[in-house]
Amino acid sequence: MNAPERSSAFLLDEDSGEQKCVYTADTKVTNAGTFRLNKEDHTVGNLFRMQLLRDPNVRFAGYYCPHPLVHFINLKIQTNNSTVAPVEVLGSAIEDLANETDHLITQFQESIETWKRENDTEMTSQF
């Protein structure tokens, strides 16, 4: 049988030296390059793209998943000027998103606690 491993969709193939993230600078456009994110999909692809587009230093940000049977995405970034590299804007985009997620975690914890206190229901699970 030539079926691929079930885990090939989400575990890095470390035996053949697969890296999580590979950067290739663009040969024709300045301040631009492509990140290949292995074992990632639209979940982070679109999240990063939208966050990058909020950055005034970013001129272009886009991603694509080349085929449903391959498990990586390509994220292309071009910045406005040579003082900020694509690696830097991506780094700060991820940092912003991580902080936003932290904020969301506390927001959720607080509102779930408040709701349960106010609604004082038997939140006991039956099984």
Partner 1 sequence: MPNQRFPKVQILHIAPHEIKFILSETDVSVANTLRRIMIAEVPTMAIDLVEFHANTTVLNDEYIAHRLGLIPIRYQPPESMKGEDCNGAFLPHRECVCYERCPRCSVEFELDVSFDEVNPLRAEEELMAPLTVSSQDLKTNNESVIPAHFLSQDEQDEAQDAGVAIVKMGPGQKLKLKAIARMGTAREHAKWSPVAVATYRFWPVITINEEQVATLTMEQKQELVDICPDRILEIDDLTGSIKAVENAWELSTYTEDIKFHQDSLKKRKEDDDFVRIEHSADKFIFTVESTGVMDADEIVMSSLRVLKDRLNHLAQEVENLKDM
Q: Which residues bind partner 1 (CB under 8 A)?
A: 6-7, 9-11, 19-21, 23, 35, 37, 42-44, 46-47, 49-51, 54-55, 87-88, 90-105, 107-109, 111-112, 114-116, 119, 123-127
* Under 8 Å between Cβ of 69 and 78: no
Q: Tell me whether residue 27 or residue 122 sits nearer to partner 1 (CB atom).
A: 122
Nearest distance, CB of residue 42 and partner 1, angstroms: 7
Nearest distance, CB of residue 22 and partner 1, angstroms: 8
Q: Tell me whether residue 30 or residue 91 sits nearer to partner 1 (CB atom).
A: 91
Distance of alpha carbon 9 from alpha carbon 68, whole angstroms: 10
User: Does residue 31 come out as left (phi exceeding 0), alpha (psi in the -120 to 50 range) or beta?
Assistant: left
- From the list 38, 31, 37, the residue with the least C-alpha distance to 49 is 37
Q: Tell me whether residue 30 or residue 107 sits nearer to partner 1 (CB atom).
A: 107
Nearest distance, CB of residue 14 and partner 1, angstroms: 11
Which residues share a beta bridge with 73?
37
Q: How many CB atoms lie within 10 A of CB 48?
A: 22
